[in-house]
Amino acid sequence: MARESWLDSENHPTIDAHVQQLEHFTKSLADGVIDKAELAQQEKNLIAAMGAAEQVLSDEAHAAVTKLLAELAAYTVMEMLHTMTTARLQAAIK
């Protein structure tokens, strides 16, 4: 399987495209509500993926992926908060 870059030609993250390929994720979002069971299943999926990756990474690669995961989590939270703040401001203006 060919490696797909995590960055596009303009050096922007393309992780969203990879996320959209996760069938369980798109099914969970279909009704616009994430329930406890869906969140619990996603946690299990995350734990399984982390465990599988951790087993095959060298110490150096493990450190790099740990940093990547932390930066991705921070970016996701910041992007979500920015989107929510922008939506609130637009609603207040109307």
> Are 71 and 42 contained in the same domain?
no
* DSSP assigned state of 57: -
When divided into structural domains, the chain yields a total of 2
For residue 49, give its domain range.
13-56
pLDDT for the residue 3: 85
Look up the pTM and report it: 0.78
> Are 88 and 64 contained in the same domain?
yes
pLDDT for the residue 86: 93
pLDDT for the residue 73: 93
> Are 50 and 35 contained in the same domain?
yes
Cβ atoms of 15 and 72 closer than 8 Å: yes
> Are 52 and 64 contained in the same domain?
no
Q: What is the pLDDT of residues 2-59, one digit of tens each?
A: 888 889 999 988 988 889 999 999 999 999 999 999 999 999 999 999 999 999 999 9
Q: Give the H/E segment covering residue 84.
A: helix 59-93
Q: Domain for residue 2, yes or no?
A: no
Q: Domain for residue 65, yes or no?
A: yes
